Structure 1
């Protein structure tokens, strides 16, 4: 007769996630996971299969939370450009408040495993596509609303912002000051091809009078 489990699997996954996030995959042993979760090795193997399977569950959990945060900000109701600005500033605030300098778990795991673990590489590539898509959709909305130049390449702008945000994560982990992180973020926002209020006004004309 199979004995019922008396633990919350998702809570175990979140606890394991923190361990992998802090120590990395290779430096985390099943004994480490047993210690942080309070479960014996047999229970962990019985519930999750092995270390790699538990790790993938933990990575999926992190990625789901990260994507959820981006979608909440970028996909919320309201004008798109303020949402985009708020999102960039929210990310920089998170980087500046990361006193432990753990950085982004996805970036950390990508550096460690993407070149040798196909399952990890596929997951991270899929998340990057989703992050890019969320930015692109918000930028396209801003173009449709007339706050960003409609002729600009929405995909290219999304790529620029995504590269900046991922780079800011690396800067923060390396110990860059909040002034450096914030300054880079604000400069990236300043590069967006905004449409002035005068240009958006119905019946407005250019400075040449044409």
Structure 2
């Protein structure tokens, strides 16, 4: 019987991602993972090598299920800037609804596993690159459809939005009232909104 027949690897990776996201790498044991998945630890070792190997797969799954969804969301029909704001505020709302906000798996892992783990560092860098590229594509789309002026620093603003998103994901774990950060999001986005308004205003 093949490994894929004896173990649904996609399900295992999805479930492991949720456990690592909630408990962290150090707070999750191979026994925890095996018990929650209903598998013997040896089966996990056979499929993924060890806990670290499964963790790398979980980070890749986070990249594909979370980070890669950003660009399509911003490239949908309609204005881009309101969707960027909605994405930021959506994280605040989610944290406000969680009993114990867990923030972002990438930000959590950066604080827990770095420096000292080159393989994890490479995974995190790739995820952040995907997020930044998603914002970049969204801002370029905003320029193309006349929402933002040509010549605006889309690369610099994409990096700023990536920093804002990651900063929010850390703060929501510490602030008892995550929605309190809404004005901070608006202040950070004010530069882009001002550029939009200047571009939309006809010359005197």
Question: Hey, what does 2:80 align to over in structure 1?
Answer: 80
TM-score (norm 1): 0.85
CA shift at 1:15, angstroms? 1.8
Once the 2 structures are TM-superposed, how far is the Cα of residue 145 of structure 1 from its aligned partner?
Answer: 2.5
Higher helix share: 2
Paired residues in the alignment total: 203
**In the alignment, which residue of structure 1 is the partner of 2:195?**
194
TM-superposed deviation, 1:128: 0.9
**Are the counterparts in 1 of residues 68 and 130 from structure 2 also a CA contact under 8 Å?**
no
1:29 paired with 2:29, answer yes
Contact 2:114 2:121 in 1 (8 A): yes
Residue matched to 1:175? 175
Runs of 4+ more than 4 Å apart: 1-4
Unaligned 5+ runs, structure 2:
none
Structure 1 140/40 Cα, relative in aligned 2: closer, same or farther at 3 Å?
same
RMSD: 2.3
> Hey, what's the Cα distance between the residues in 2 that align with 1:4 and 1:112?
32
Match of 1:52 in 2: 52
Considering only CA atoms, is the larger Rg found in Structure 1 or Structure 2? Answer: 1
Point out the more displaced range, 159-168 or 143-152.
143-152
Task: Please report the TM-score for the alignment, with normalisation by the length of structure 2.
Answer: 0.87
Q: Which stretch shifts more, 182-191 or 129-138?
A: 182-191
Q: Which residue does 2:9 correspond to in 1?
A: 9
SS of residue matched to 1:78: coil
Preserved CA contact (<8 Å) 1:74 1:87? no
Q: Is the 8 A contact 1:132 1:159 kept in 2?
A: yes
Residues 88 and 185 in structure 2, CA contact (< 8 A), matched pair in contact too: yes
* Whole-angstrom distance in 2 between the partners of 1:63 and 1:91: 17
Residue 172 of structure 1 deviates from its aligned partner by 0.5
